[in-house]
Amino acid sequence: DEFDKMGADHQSLLEVMEQQEVSVAKAGLVASLPARATIVAAANPEKGHYDSSGSLSDNIKLSPALLSRFDLIFLMLDQPDEEVDGLLSEHVMRLHGRGSGKENIPALTFGKATQRRRAGGRGGGRGSQRSDSGKDRLLERIRALQSSGTKPVPLEVIQKCVAYARKHVAPVLTEEARVVLKRCYLELRSQNANCVGGIPITVRQLESMIRLAEARARCEMRERVTVEDAEDVVAIMRESLYSTVMDEYGSIKVGGRKKGKHAEAKRYLTTLAKMARAQGRRTFSVQELYGIADDIRLQVDDMVNLVEELNYAGELLKKGNGMYSLA
């Protein structure tokens, strides 16, 4: 907990999470100790609330190198909701009102409130057209399990199952599962081709999906990773990326965040300069300027205002008749 309060100690985790060993130097002796453990961390935003216009590393002040070593990252945003807040307050008061007894408190489930929040948060724009049948099937199975009244497995049984699976079960990927994971990785890479910051999509994400798929099969004591395992992992990975670095259109944000106006203006001028060199001309019409902005998906609120500001700054010179020239 409080992962963001570690200060400079974050760097010591890079070796642990990459090589799964930790180097210790004491009294002139240097030793490398095994550190095969799962790391589950929770961190708070630096300013007390999450700024959706910034990247994940901007909000919690963790280096992209460290963030990329986590298999999954989820945002838990505190959004006001009367039904959810009421259920949560009842649950907290029930915990404090049970006295010194050890009776079990039923798990807190949000049901329709969670479904309504999901539908409302992603219902507008082209992002609502993003189809992901694997995620839908996974959610349906989870909701069906919640409503079935199935009793949870005792902790002692879970511990024995985990110990047995780690020692005796070693799943291998089937060819069909390889195809699903590979296709997901290539799609993420193609969307992430221009990433210059934030959480880049690298081979680590592919290795994460392989580990998660193997763990999914190991949970059911199976020796082979099936297509269903791979599809579940892809759904979880996409949900993790959607909450951290994907925009409302379902594409990965460049740099993990929306760029500022100055950075976008610089990117726009660089594109114009490249086109001017390629075409042997430095003059563009207003329609061409707007078309180029659409082609590179320029993230500005008012394109007319941007052109006027570039003209005022001397970067784009107005020639009349709706024509502009690069300075």
Residue-wise pLDDT tens digits, 181-201: 999 888 888 766 544 445 667
Span 198-218, pLDDT tens digits: 566 788 889 999 999 999 999
Across 35-56, average pLDDT: 79
Span 46-99, pLDDT tens digits: 777 777 666 677 777 777 777 878 888 888 877 777 888 888 888 888 888 765
CA distance 277 to 226: 52
What percent of the chain lies above the pLDDT cut of 90? Answer: 15
CA distance 174 to 227: 8
Quick one: pLDDT at residue 60? 77
Span 233-282, pLDDT tens digits: 998 888 887 666 554 444 444 444 444 567 778 888 888 888 888 888 88
Whether the full predicted model's pTM is greater than 0.85, yes or no, is: no
DSSP annotation string for 94-156: HHHTSTT--PPPPPP--THHHHHHHHHHT-SSGGGG---HHHHHHHHHHHHHHHTTPPPPPHH
The answer, yes or no, to whether residue 173 has pLDDT greater than 80, is yes
Quick one: pLDDT at residue 21? 85
Q: Is 250 left (phi over 0), alpha (psi -120 to 50) or beta?
A: left
Which region among 31-45, 47-61, 111-125, 286-300 has the lowest average model confidence (pLDDT)?
Answer: 111-125
Across 144-156, average pLDDT: 80
Quick one: pLDDT at residue 157? 92
Beta-bridge mates of residue 31: 24
Q: Is 222 left (phi over 0), alpha (psi -120 to 50) or beta?
A: beta
Quick one: pLDDT at residue 101? 53
Quick one: pLDDT at residue 178? 94
The answer, yes or no, to whether residue 25 has pLDDT greater than 60, is yes
Burial 157-177 (b: 16+ CB within 10 A, else e): eeeeeeeebeeebebebbeeb
Across 24-36, average pLDDT: 85
CA distance 269 to 282: 12
Structure tokens at 306: 């941007």
Q: Which residues contact 143 (CB under 8 A, 6 or more apart)?
A: none
The answer, yes or no, to whether residue 230 has pLDDT greater than 70, is yes
Confidence of residue 159 (pLDDT cuts 50, 70, 90): very high
Mean of all residue pLDDT scores within the chain:
77
